[in-house]
Structure 1
Amino acid sequence: MSSPLFNQMENALADLRKQQERIREAQERAEKETTTVSSKDRSLTATVDHRQRLTGLKFSGTRYRTMAPAELANKIVELVQQAQDEANQKSLAVYSAMAPAGFGSALTDMVNGDFDLDKMFDEAVREADSMSGTADEGEGTDRGK
């Protein structure tokens, strides 16, 4: 026999698992993303991955050869930072569309690759169980008494 509260909890858990899968799919899409940015004169191109790590640097033509070392270094740094910023914006766009209000730092953690989706959902399920009274009774108590 099922109580209305039990049915609500089951439905909420099913909804939670659906959301978990949508987030996992978004993570997988984001992890496949790369961002490539070229300098205005097209002499330099930088590519970064979804975590904003530099994965490619390409020199085209001969313009870069006539630059002073400090100028070339500055252009490379600026280009890489631009690519990193664009990659960050792409990642935020993917996740912000599905993030609940007040998601806060978890969204940034997700974008930076430090987010543990399974841990978040496990904690939510434990919290829901404890609020509904379905958690193991006597958990953490001394049963020998």
Structure 2
Amino acid sequence: MTEPIEQRIAKAMAELESVQAAVARAEERLAGACATVRSRDRAVEVTVGPGGELTGLKFLDDKYRSMNAAQLAASVMEAVGRGRAQMAREVMDVFGPLAAPSTEVPELRGVDVDWDRIFGSALSAEAGGHGRRGGNRLLDEIHEDTDDARTRGRGRS
């Protein structure tokens, strides 16, 4: 026996209200979210907001003074790419479940979210390219200096 249309509509409306409330909670959670990331060479630290925007930039331990312009730019770009990737993952973790099909209302099949279209290069940074697009020679200038970090008594993060 099929469920009456009124019951199906009531379930769908309840599900919709539940999803709307969950979206509001997710938006509130992400409103103050940020990712703070250091470059691999530990020369810069950046803070990135939930929309991928750069909200903070620090040059650490005067290391930037011994870097040429290309190296410093590469450190900033690498850290920003990693910060954007971290925020993209967090946004996907928060909103991903809200796009899933309804378990209560089969007619609500969920939403197919194109995360690549939304986050673009931020996701390519996460995949190992660190925001690298073909021909970006600035990133070739990054050099890790793990001995320097150890001699100052700091652990790697």
The answer to whether the superposition gives a TM-score over 0.5 is yes
TM-score by length of 2: 0.60
Conservation of the 8 A alpha-carbon contact between 2:41 and 2:75: no
Instruction: Give the C-alpha shift of residue 76 in structure 1.
Output: 0.7
Instruction: Give the C-alpha shift of residue 40 in structure 1.
Output: 3.5
Residue correspondences, number: 110
TM-score by length of 1: 0.65
Q: What does 1:70-81 correspond to in 2, within 5 Å? A: 70-81=70-81
Instruction: Give the C-alpha shift of residue 88 in structure 1.
Output: 0.5
Q: What does 1:1-145 correspond to in 2, within 5 Å? A: 4-101=4-101, 103-105=111-113
4+ residue stretches of structure 1 with deviation over 4 A?
Answer: 106-112
Give me the CA root mean square deviation.
2.6
The one-letter code sitting in structure 2 at the alignment partner of 1:34 is C
Instruction: Give the C-alpha shift of residue 20 in structure 1.
Output: 1.1
Compare CA radii of gyration and give the structure with the larger one. Answer: 1
Instruction: Give the C-alpha shift of residue 64 in structure 1.
Output: 0.8
Listed as ranges, the gaps of 5+ residues in structure 1 are 113-145
Instruction: Give the C-alpha shift of residue 106 in structure 1.
Output: 6.4
Listed as ranges, the gaps of 5+ residues in structure 2 are 102-109, 121-157
Change (3 A) 1:80 1:57: same
In structure 1, what is the Cα distance between the partners aligned to 2:20 and 2:11? 14
Conservation of the 8 A alpha-carbon contact between 1:52 and 1:88: yes
